[in-house]
Chains A and B, each alone.
Chain A
Amino acid sequence: MHLSREEEEAYQGEKGESLRRAMEILVALGDIYGADRLIPVRSVQVAGVSFKTIGEAGLEWISDLQGKVLVPSVLNPAGMDLSRWREMKIDENFAKKQIEIVDAYKSLGISPDCTCTPYQIRPDSARKGDHLAWSESSAVSFANSVIGAKTNREGGPSALAAALVGKTPRYGYHLDENRVPTIKISVEADLEPSDFGLLGYITGREVGEGVPRFCLRRRPKVDELKALGAAMAASGSVALYYFDEDAPPLQKGAEEKSVTAEDLRAVREENAPDDEVDIVAVGCPHTSPKELEEIARLLDGKSVEREFWICTARGIAERCPKLVEKIEGSGAKVFCDTCMVVSPASDQYKKMMVNSGKALAYVPGLCKIKAAYGSTEECVRAATGRD
């Protein structure tokens, strides 16, 4: 990989040990993936935040680093709400370590926004054509597919290295030749909002790491796209998808598959909720203000009988204090900085009902509890115990 003189100096350690290691990470990845050079990124989203994932060793590594990030950077969701962790029944030691991790990132100049939806709180952090170094799989999918920005799915250290250097190696989804749709998915169904999570759940399993191009009967709304991409990145590892209207031509010899109303119904029935559900959780990915509005409306005049979490970004909750107050008036809890998938707090329940195809794919494996699926309305009904 070609390095400019300035990059070469950093690589040889002339600008300090932290920058040397950061450059070493970028160069190693660039060499492995055949990048020709580094390119500047507009923003970074750093993974490796939950203490549950990175443990003591990760905390030590981040604490040992020096320097400041050069581009706007935020964090992936943490293992708990950073201020209301006691209500989640998180133990003191975990909380202490989790706060130390976020503080260590803060001292590197990273904003302590812990969210899987940086685009919802900072729309200017990713624009069409921008190169990014984002980590969280649903955010990567949204940036590539909905915004039209370009990012690979970064690991924790590589994202942090990109933030410190302000650059990332040019390979993978940064190159147009790797952004060609590889499989056509025809959807033969009239889709309800809650079908998009299921469609993603089914398609991700079919497509793996391919680039699907969808043929749909209607144009999805933003929150539906968020749900679709998140599910595909969880049940498969889809980082980019298109719709017929604005897609480049399919790769030569691309496969074609269809998803029918029957396929969607089958997955829905297979994952229908039952009496065992002892927690309902929505906000995977983190809810938008619009989704908070819908939840507040559905909860109006009701009180919850089961534990009910609504996960969102702190920046969203702070922007909608009245909606949060209304929702919490029912007994539901609006948690920030975290989610049901990454928090160890989920482990204390038996079966979680979700409205997210991503959570449906991850909760059984990562939280070791059962999962059920329903629309947002059905989730509220289950939480309030009214049929």
Chain B
Amino acid sequence: MEVHCHRISSGRACGPALVSREPISFLGTVDPDTGKVVDPKHQLFGKKVGGKVLIFPGGKGSTVGSYVIYQLKKRGFAPAAMINVKSEPIVAVGAIISGIPLVDGVSAEILDLEDGTLVTVDADGERVMIDD
């Protein structure tokens, strides 16, 4: 299945989906040294974002979250790509400075996708390909 989307940060990447129905505040929620979700109150608690296509409604919280995304990328624990229903500045800026493909403008139905589904994000072509 192919879905149209809106490019925020350019690039193309493929990986297994990791879906959060809750927004993510990278500062405090994701450990920059491991890519593990360390906030026990978060839906993704205990999961690792590294190499995944991270799908979530959007970001929230401190603007330092942008640098956390950059740190994840530098240490090799960043998501391969990210998909938002609606991006906000913290995740958008974090993805751009880190060179991680990020798109938004997809329907909220994408949050029903099963974890592990293979997803390809083509930000420049403004499309998301989902393995059936």
Contact = CB atoms under 8 A, between A and B. Distances in A.
B92 A61 contact: no
A24 to B, nearest CB: 5
Interface stretch (A27-35, A69-77, A118-126): A27-35
A67 to B, nearest CB: 14
Interface of A: 21, 24-25, 28-29, 31-32, 48, 53-58, 60-61, 155-158
Contacts of B67: 48, 54-55, 57-58, 61
B106 to A, nearest CB: 14
Contact of B93 (A31, A54, A157): A157
Nearest to B88: A32
Contact of A28 (B63, B64, B70, B96): B96
Given A24-B96, A31-B6, A57-B71, 15 more contacts: A21-B99, A28-B89, A28-B92, A28-B93, A32-B89, A48-B67, A57-B32, A57-B74, A58-B70, A60-B70, A60-B74, A155-B66, A155-B89, A155-B93, A157-B93
Contact of B87 (A32, A54, A61, A155): A32
Contacts of A61: 67, 70, 97
Given A32-B89, A55-B71, A58-B70, A21 B96 contact: yes
B9 interface: yes
Interface in B79-118: 86-90, 92-93, 96-97, 99
Contacts of A57: 32, 67-68, 70-71, 74
Nearest to B102: A28
Given A31-B6, A54-B64, A158 B97 contact: no
Contacts of A54: 64, 67
24 contacts: A24-B9, A24-B96, A25-B92, A25-B96, A28-B93, A29-B93, A31-B6, A32-B86, A32-B87, A53-B64, A54-B64, A54-B67, A55-B67, A57-B32, A57-B67, A57-B74, A60-B74, A61-B67, A61-B97, A155-B63, A155-B89, A155-B90, A158-B89, A158-B93
Contacts of A32: 86-89, 92
Contacts of B92: 25, 28-29, 32
Interface string B2-14: 0000101110000
Nearest to B70: A57
Interface of B: 6, 8-10, 32, 63-64, 66-68, 70-71, 74, 86-90, 92-93, 96-97, 99
Nearest to A55: B67
Contacts of A25: 92-93, 96-97
A46 to B, nearest CB: 13
Nearest to A56: B71
B9 A28 contact: yes
Contacts of B63: 155-156
Contacts of A157: 66, 93, 96-97
A264 B97 CA distance: 44
Contacts of A53: 64
A155 B61 CA distance: 13
Contacts of A24: 9-10, 96
B59 to A, nearest CB: 11
Nearest to A64: B97
A28 B93 CA distance: 8
B27 to A, nearest CB: 11
Contacts of A58: 67, 70
A201 B68 CA distance: 31
A61 B97 CA distance: 7
A60 B70 CA distance: 9
A58 B86 CA distance: 25
A53 B63 CA distance: 10
